[in-house]
Amino acid sequence: MDSTTIGLLLTLACPLRCRHCYLSSGPERTEEFEHDSLEAVIRTIASTGRFSTICFSGGEPFYRKELLSSAIHLATSHRLNSAVVTSGFWAGTPESALHTLKSLPPVTELHLSTDTFHQEYIPPEYVVNAIKAARELNIWAVTLGITTLQPLEEAAMKRFFSDYLDDRYIFSQALIPLGRGAHQLREEELTMGFMETPCDDLRMQAITPSLDILACCGPVLSLPVGHPLRAGNLKNENLVDVLNRINDDPILNLMKLCGPWKAARILEHTEAAPSPGSRFIKGCACDLCLTLLGDDRYLKILRVLMTGLLGKEIEEITSLRKKIENFGTGR
Ligand code: SF4
Ligand code: SF4
């Protein structure tokens, strides 16, 4: 297994309505984990023995503080660490930031999100208060995610936060043209520039309130059931089976090892190349990925090509993984 962290989208509700939100989260969203299913899912995650940490995200997990508190408590009772992703809307003053974090069972990682879209609602000082409170409580990992297409904006944000957080813990990601974000991108921001990197987000799977298992922690909730990135559902499948299927999928391995740009290059050598007029968001792997994997023709071609290319290696990895899992059990 690649990552020892698994994501749980606790709720799609959020007190903000950021213009770029690909989930279109907001106060009106009602999709969230029921307590019983939360308990069952965390028990299932723990029983796999594959994970050390659950990353609670949304929406905004702090907007459902009781649910978040139960989730952290359940994770802790199963000896799992708790990471939380948040905008920091609860950290208006140093005191309220500290009080809010102290009122939860211990959190091990705090991942804050900020950028010009978030800052239409949440001033950066809130994020600073949250960082300082997390430090005071010895939360061992604190990171900051900035969503932007503008290098100048990214540099300015990094400068602002550099007094509070080392550069290594500030990450930038591109805007994704989905949900409310579909209306935010300007014409000049559309380009054929591919991001020539593997997709690291495929190393972490996520579970939604409706118990869908997402192969990556990217914007894939709107994909149809049965799509390789929307890999299964805990109502009718075992978590380990779905995780193994994700690990063995030749197309997802291509994305994980090389990235969507490589899939596009491979398709360029076939009749099914994306049309030269197609444009993608520069620096946004997900835009290209969803364009390619959202098209059945591309999916079929990539599956045939990758099964031939990676088939033997995947068999070897699968058999090695089985040997490791069975090590010491006498099987
Ligand atoms: S981007 Fe985050 S903070 Fe903003 S509306 Fe979406 S979930 Fe809420
Ligand atoms: S590039 Fe594709 S696989 Fe990776 S996070 Fe984005 S949608 Fe998911």
81 and 161 share one domain: yes
User: Is residue 101, in this structure, part of any structural domain at all?
Assistant: yes
Distance 217 CA to ligand 2 centre (A): 7
Least confident of 15-19, 154-158, 175-179, 188-192: 188-192
User: Is residue 200, in this structure, part of any structural domain at all?
Assistant: no
Q: What are phi and psi of 36, to 5 degrees?
A: -65, -45
Q: Are 97 and 129 in contact (CB under 8 A)?
A: yes
What pLDDT band is residue 73 in, cutting at 50, 70 and 90? very high
Residue 90 belongs to domain with CATH number: 3.20.20.70
17 and 148 share one domain: yes
Count of beta carbons in the 10 Å neighbourhood of residue 147: 23
pLDDT score, position 1:
43
User: Is residue 140, in this structure, part of any structural domain at all?
Assistant: yes
Which of helix, strand or coil describes residue 140? coil
Of 185, 210, 233, the last residue of a domain is: 185
pLDDT score, position 223:
82
Ligand 2, pocket-test mutation among 199, 212, 214, 217, most atoms within 8 A of CB: 199
Ligand positioned closest to the Cα atom of 200: 2
153 and 42 share one domain: yes
| 84 DSSP β-pair partners | 56, 110
What pLDDT band is residue 275 in, cutting at 50, 70 and 90? low
Look at the chain and report how many structural domains it folds into: 2
Count of beta carbons in the 10 Å neighbourhood of residue 134: 23
Q: Tens digits of per-residue pLDDT, 102-144?
A: 999 999 999 999 998 999 999 999 999 999 999 999 998 999 9
- pLDDT above 90 covers what percent of the chain? 54
76 and 164 share one domain: yes
pLDDT score, position 88:
98
pLDDT score, position 314:
55
pLDDT score, position 125:
96
User: Is residue 191, in this structure, part of any structural domain at all?
Assistant: no
Of 161, 185, 209, the last residue of a domain is: 185
C-alpha 210: how far from its chain's center?
17
Least confident of 43-52, 65-74, 143-152, 278-287: 278-287
61 and 173 share one domain: yes
Least confident of 37-51, 127-141, 149-163: 149-163
Query: Average of pLDDT values for 36-44?
Result: 97
Ligand 1 site, residue 86, Cβ cutoff 6 A: no
Ligand 1 site, residue 10, Cβ cutoff 6 A: no
140 and 31 share one domain: yes
Ligand 1 site, residue 21, Cβ cutoff 6 A: yes
User: Is residue 222, in this structure, part of any structural domain at all?
Assistant: no
Q: Tens digits of per-residue pLDDT, 203-251?
A: 899 999 999 999 998 888 878 887 889 999 999 999 999 999 998 888 8
Ligand 2, pocket-test mutation among 201, 290, 292, 302, most atoms within 8 A of CB: 201
154 and 16 share one domain: yes
9 and 106 share one domain: yes
Ligand 1 site, residue 87, Cβ cutoff 6 A: yes
pLDDT score, position 303:
84
pLDDT score, position 136:
96
Count of beta carbons in the 10 Å neighbourhood of residue 104: 18
Structure tokens at 172: 């930038």
User: Is residue 302, in this structure, part of any structural domain at all?
Assistant: yes
Domain span holding position 144: 5-185
| Average pLDDT, rounded, for the chain | 87
Per-residue pLDDT at 186 exceeds 80: no
Residues 6+ apart with CB under 8 A from 240: 48, 50
33 and 125 share one domain: yes
Radius of gyration (C-alpha) of the chain in whole angstroms? 20
Q: Are 31 and 63 in contact (CB under 8 A)?
A: no
User: Is residue 203, in this structure, part of any structural domain at all?
Assistant: no
Say how far apart CA 20 and CA 41 lie, in whole Å: 30
Of 185, 207, 232, the last residue of a domain is: 185
What pLDDT band is residue 310 in, cutting at 50, 70 and 90? low
129 and 272 share one domain: no
119 and 19 share one domain: yes
Ligand 1 site, residue 54, Cβ cutoff 6 A: no
Query: Average of pLDDT values for 28-34?
Result: 97
Say how far apart CA 231 and CA 229 lie, in whole Å: 5
Ligand 2 site, residue 290, Cβ cutoff 6 A: yes
User: Is residue 269, in this structure, part of any structural domain at all?
Assistant: yes
131 and 45 share one domain: yes
Q: Are 144 and 112 in contact (CB under 8 A)?
A: yes
Ligand 1 site, residue 88, Cβ cutoff 6 A: no
What residue type is assigned to position 9 of the chain? L
